[in-house]
Amino acid sequence: MNSRRVGSPGLDRRRFLAAAGSTTVMALAGGLVAPRVAHAQTLSTGAAEITVVSDGHLVLPMGFAYPEVPPEDLARLLAENAMPADALLPDCNVTLARIGDRLVIFDVGAGANFMPTAGKLADGLAAAGVDPADVTDVVFTHAHPDHLWGLTDDFDELVFANAQYRIGRTEWDFWSAPETLSKVPADRQTFVVGAQNRFAAIEDRIIFVEDGEEVIPGIEAVATPGHTPGHLSFMIQGAEPVLIVGDAISNTVISFARPDWPSGSDQDADLGARTRLALLDRLAEDRARAIGFHFPHPGAGLVERKDGGYRYVPV
């Protein structure tokens, strides 16, 4: 596979049709349940068994989430979709993939010190019958608190003590740089301090990954920058591949209907919008399933084109 970024023109179709010669068809086990329940859902690509567990949810004031969108336009879209006008309450979905003798977890949740409604990963793992000691690989999409701060427990010990850790080099370098603290807004400086503290716990076992690299057999890194400088998504290959989206697409209503709208959670709003548009277009074209960290739990769905935009179809 080539190494072109999702945000650039001409995204390679092969990213979303990997292993086309396989005859395995993804099957879904179990039904959807209400959000914010420690429920595990499992689906399979044949080579990988994928489990999605809950880490709780966030509470994001609308002024933080979409500060540059005309209020009347935002209010109209929210009303049309019966969504509250004051805040978003996105679920936090942590994905695991078992491939052969490897048990991979994508991101590690928020831990106990970020937001009281999140940090429930231990309950989610218990519901799925997963022992943290059995996780062999931790793969990070990016280093925001709700994806990284669950790395250590209340005693500052690694939750996944037996794992190797992987992250994009661009992401690591950005959050590690001493000057980053002064470059971010004051209300997000704790993000930098928290990332640097947790990076210190894994700096002797971190493995850096690049766009297009097969980070683990059957799992390929896909550059999806904008939300953060080095944000990566991850394609789990199969006849019907599954993309672990991370936060490259964050909301199944707003991000789909108006992917061009700048998001307050994106560090580079323009780049984030370009990445989002390219990603939605390719997911719709190839009918690849996507698991979004902040999609309604358990987070797996398809993308369809609708009225010049897109719509989310839960699996």
Domain edges within the chain: 13-314
Lowest mean pLDDT among 7-11, 21-25, 245-249, 302-306: 21-25
- In this model, does residue 19 exceed pLDDT 50? no
pLDDT score of 44: 72
Strand, helix or coil for residue 134: helix
Which parts of the chain are beta strand (E)?
27-29, 41-44, 49-57, 60-61, 87-88, 91-99, 102-106, 137-139, 164-168, 206-209, 214-216, 219-223, 232-236, 242-246, 289-292, 300-306, 309-314
Share of the chain above pLDDT 70, in %: 87
- In this model, does residue 103 exceed pLDDT 50? yes
- In this model, does residue 297 exceed pLDDT 50? yes
pLDDT score of 39: 61
- In this model, does residue 152 exceed pLDDT 80? yes
d(CA 185, CA 21): 48
Q: How confident is the model at residue 122 (pLDDT cuts 50, 70, 90)?
A: very high
Mean pLDDT for the chain overall:
88
Nearest CA-CA partner of 140 in 131, 151, 129, 130: 151
pLDDT score of 23: 22
- In this model, does residue 8 exceed pLDDT 70? no
**pLDDT average, residue stretch 38-59:** 84
**pLDDT average, residue stretch 239-264:** 95
CATH 3.30.70.3340 fits 13-314, yes or no: no
pLDDT score of 270: 98
Q: How confident is the model at residue 271 (pLDDT cuts 50, 70, 90)?
A: very high
